[in-house]
Amino acid sequence: MPQSRGEIQTAIHELALLLMERSETVAVLCGLSGEGILGLRARVLMKALGRRSVFDTRLGYRAHRAASVTEAAGEVVLHEKPDVSLVYANELESLVPTLHQLGVPVVISIRAVDLHRPVEAFRKLPCDHYISDCSFTARRLLEEFGISSRVIHPVVLPDLHRVISTRETVTIFDPALDGAGDIGLRAAARCNEIPFVFAEYAPLDDPQRTMLLDAMRGLPNARFTSISELSQEVLMRTRFLLVPGSADQGFNRIIAEAQVSGIPVIAAKQASVSEAVGSGGILVERDASIDAWVEAIRRLWTDERYYADLSAKALEHARRPQLDPQQQAGQILEILQAAIDAHAAGNNLTNLNPNG
């Protein structure tokens, strides 16, 4: 689990826990900054031991921490002797070839936000096994890069996120992304009888946070929550989520975490978010006026029968097979085994034909 909290870090952690439940041995190689006690301790140890990484087991598995995961890969592979690796996008262009040279089969996990890379960046990677976080990402990966992938949503372990909400606030996560904060602020100004919470799920940079806090000063019904507060603690007070961001970001984890507890969502209508919300919320057209957002917010805030119906549908959507952790574990292990088998077959061919 890296030092910062975000969707990808939480997904990796919960996948590790899920695979360990199935008696798999799991280790994680993640980045490290010099911030905080953990960062300072790790850097002191690395300097004292002359190593590129250090590990701890406080999360129940070995988490190797390094300033550069690519530079530390050889050291970690020597220590762990992995059968296969599942690589997320950080340092993708350098880490995947390094693992390939070290003889470790690779599966790459892709999110929509990872697809900013040029086509050649993917084509040069020595990997034939890809996982996409949602159907939207898989379509883009195929259409823009010619790469087929298997859709497996990031793991959301229901027992870690289920809450009983007091339903006292409207919550906006990552309010600085793609105009979400702007729509949220305008809605809060129009609905001054409703409490709004602006919560950063991933860290905002200082200018974004300052601008948001400045804009909130004239809104007595709006409150900001920092990342020091866990999403479950925020959701325990949430009546529904507001997700007005206009860009397709791929799988939206916080929507899944909310729906586990029957918390419905009002979101901008777009491919990846529509897939995440399903029938458990309200989809507002991306170019809709603020009036449309205000109408949806007020109805879901005041109409108890309507709320109960969407809450039940949100809970049902959270139980869909695509988010069943055991089914996901089986699918992930299947694709990891396919990468192992393909790697072994390639080695056998090389051994049979040593001259190529």
Q: What is the pLDDT of residues 75-128, one digit of tens each?
A: 999 999 999 999 987 778 899 999 999 999 999 999 888 888 888 888 889 998
The reply to whether 158-318 shares the fold of 7-155+325-347 is yes
Cα separation, 193 vs 209, in Å, equals 24
Mean pLDDT taken over the chain: 88
Please list the residues that pair with 86 across neighbouring strands: 107
The pLDDT of residue 2 is: 47
Residue 114 contacts residue 93 (beta carbons within 8 Å): no
Q: What is the pLDDT of residues 121-161, one digit of tens each?
A: 888 899 989 999 999 999 999 999 999 999 999 999 999 99
Cα separation, 262 vs 313, in Å, equals 8
Residue 89 contacts residue 132 (beta carbons within 8 Å): no
User: What's the mean pLDDT in 264-271?
Assistant: 92
User: In the CATH hierarchy, which fold is given to the domain comprising 158-318?
Assistant: Rossmann fold (3.40.50)
- The reply to whether CATH 3.40.50.2000 applies to domain 7-155+325-347 is yes
The pLDDT of residue 200 is: 82
Enter the pTM of the model: 0.88
Q: Given a cut of 50, is residue 354 above it in pLDDT?
A: no
Of 30-39, 191-200, 210-219, which has the strongest mean pLDDT? 191-200
Please list the residues that pair with 30 across neighbouring strands: 65
Domain ranges of the chain: 7-155+325-347, 158-318
The DSSP annotation for 289-314 comes to -HHHHHHHHHHHHH-HHHHHHHHHHH
Q: What is the pLDDT of residues 11-55, one digit of tens each?
A: 999 999 999 999 999 999 988 865 666 666 766 777 777 788 888
Cα separation, 145 vs 91, in Å, equals 19
Around 35, how many Cα atoms within 13 Å sit in the side-chain half-sphere?
5
